[in-house]
Homo-oligomer: A and B are copies of this chain.
């Protein structure tokens, strides 16, 4: 790997374009994660929504959407699906009756836990070509560029 990193390919080479690398990395991870989550009837996006809803706690449905970076109208559909599967429940906010608080059911929490483990395994598979340290570095570097 380190020798390959020193070669510095031409900018007009597809495999040297960051956009290409990110897109195809996402495609590959999506394949692996999709297969891993298939037994739960979820995909990677669904799991992300479930994670945020679990984190959001007493907050509103719209606040959860903001965290995910998706539109509130899109969130409605996601919550509909999750609710239809008995993973979450909508409850009216105590102090503001316009708001929905979305809470995980027992089934939802159990599914979240098991699906997260399956997704973790898919990530490990995805990162297998790298050392454990390099894999962690990849994630922390991605987080750094996102937050800038």
Q: Could you tell me which A residues sit within 8 Å of B by CB distance? A: 1, 4-5, 8, 11-30, 33, 44, 47-48, 51-52, 54-55, 67-69, 112-113, 116-117, 119-120, 123, 126-130, 134, 136-148
Which residue of the partner chain B has the closest CB to A140? B5
Contacts of A112 in B (CB 8 A): 12
CB–CB A24/B146 < 8 A: yes
- How near does chain B come to A13, taking the closest CB pair, in angstroms? 7
CB–CB B126/A18 < 8 A: yes
Q: Please classify the interface of chain A as helix (H, G, I), strand (E, B), loop, or mixed, using the class held by over half of its residues.
A: helix
Which residue of the partner chain B has the closest CB to A112? B12
CB–CB B17/A51 < 8 A: yes
- Please measure, in the bound complex, the distance between the C-alpha atom of A137 and the C-alpha atom of B135, giving whole angstroms: 11
Task: Say whether, besides A14-B48, A127-B145, A129-B145, A137 and B25 are in contact (CB < 8 Å).
Answer: no
CB–CB A126/B145 < 8 A: yes
CB–CB B51/A120 < 8 A: no
CB–CB A52/B14 < 8 A: yes
**A-B contacts besides A8-B136, A14-B51, 5 pairs, CB < 8 Å:** A12-B116, A14-B55, A21-B142, A22-B26, A130-B144
- Please measure, in the bound complex, the distance between the C-alpha atom of A30 and the C-alpha atom of B23, giving whole angstroms: 11
Contacts of A18 in B (CB 8 A): 29, 123, 126-127, 139, 142
- Please measure, in the bound complex, the distance between the C-alpha atom of A33 and the C-alpha atom of B23, giving whole angstroms: 14
Pairs across A and B, CB under 8 Å, 25 listed = A5-B137, A8-B136, A11-B117, A11-B119, A13-B51, A13-B55, A14-B48, A14-B52, A17-B48, A18-B127, A18-B139, A18-B142, A19-B29, A19-B33, A21-B146, A22-B22, A22-B26, A22-B142, A23-B26, A26-B26, A130-B141, A130-B144, A134-B141, A137-B137, A138-B141
